[in-house]
Amino acid sequence: MELEFLGTGAGVPAKHRNVTSIALKLLDERNAVWLFDCGEGTQMQILRTNIRPRKIEKIFITHLHGDHIFGLPGLISSRSFQGGDEPLEIYGPAGIKQFVLNALKISQTRLAYSLKFIEVKPGVIFYDDQFTVTCDLLDHGIDSYGYRVSEHDHDGQLQVDKLVALGIKPGPIFGQLKKGETVTLPDGRTVSGKDFVGAAKTGRTVTILGDTRISDTSIALAKTSDVLVHESTFNKNEAKMARNYYHSTTHQAAEVAKRAQVKRLILTHISARYLAQDALNLEKEAQEIFPNTKIAKDFDIVDIPFQNEIKE
């Protein structure tokens, strides 16, 4: 599980930051990529990565401001030309379906795959045997959502090497042992599956918020996440401006992370006003409240390991 930041800027594209798009790469988990927002130029950013558009199976749109959706029609069209034939699901606020279908109709674009639109409301919007995705409304003046992606817990792995070393051959017995059952072998030995199953792994959680003021909803949605991705459009001294424009400051993003007890905070949606050292100062400001903070740059990759795999 990895996050790859395809665009980390706010409002308009800049030379050093494209507008918003984030890829949640689930290649090991389900051989797929989930995209969060799709600002103008996202498909050009993808060309500079190893992401294949045909691997994108879901796109989650936080809100309908242009810097979060203007790249969507182009990416959808290119996905078809680049061998994508699997269905694509698009989640977002009411209006996302009309926006996409109008663009495709007017441009007479034909797709080699089907589109499924899910116009979201607060609550669970996706569930399968691997993941649950929930969303909630934030505070941005326009309907803007945050998405919480929760991986289900993993059972411990059967320690096959240990079994083989004891002369136990693969077969139905492995399935019994994987369930923790006690089995009597043909030679009379008794083995317990509990002795040959590794520790279970707690599923990982990633929360990606759309544009928002600081709010209790953000805190509740991000609770105990492994990673929280939060906008940071303004510095700590611009709280009044942030409120007027329905955005957050560095300190406000860090306060959400602290109160939500997340493990890591990634700042994104950075104004083009902040270059080089100024951008690093934003990171330092957030670290005053929440030390484990990083400011994202375009093409940064953030690995999300299981907690028992983290090296101190």
Q: What is the pLDDT of residues 80-103, one digit of tens each?
A: 887 778 999 999 999 999 999 999
pLDDT band at 4 (very low <50, low <70, confident <90, very high): very high
What is the model's pLDDT at position 169? 77
Does residue 61 carry a pLDDT above 60? yes
Q: How far apart are CA 274 and CA 223, in angstroms?
A: 29
- Rg for the chain, CA atoms, rounded: 22
What is the model's pLDDT at position 139? 96
What is the model's pLDDT at position 206? 98
What is the model's pLDDT at position 310? 57
Is position 211 annotated in a ligand binding site? yes
CA-nearest of 236, 232, 264, 302 to 8 is 232
Is position 140 annotated in a ligand binding site? yes
Is position 63 annotated in a ligand binding site? yes
pLDDT band at 312 (very low <50, low <70, confident <90, very high): very low
Residue 67 among the catalytic residues:
yes
Question: In this structure, which long-range contacts are made by residues 196-201, counting pairs with CB atoms below 8 Å and at least 24 apart in sequence?
Answer: 196/158, 196/159, 196/162, 196/163, 197/155, 197/156, 197/157, 197/158, 197/159, 198/156, 198/157, 198/158, 198/159, 199/156, 199/308, 200/153, 200/154, 200/155, 200/156, 201/153, 201/154, 201/156, 201/306, 201/308
Is position 65 annotated in a ligand binding site? yes
CA dihedral 206, 213, 281, 307 (to 10 degrees): -20
Please report, rounded to a whole number, the percentage of residues in the chain having pLDDT higher than 70.
Answer: 98
pLDDT tens digits for range 256-309: 999 999 999 999 999 988 988 888 999 999 999 999 999 999 999 999 998 766
Does residue 157 carry a pLDDT above 80? no
Q: How far apart are CA 34 and CA 134, in angstroms?
A: 14
Catalytic residue among 37, 67, 136, 298: 67
Does residue 155 carry a pLDDT above 80? no
Q: How far are the Cα atoms of 91, 109, 145, 189, 266 from residue 213, in angstroms, in the given order? A: 22, 37, 12, 64, 16
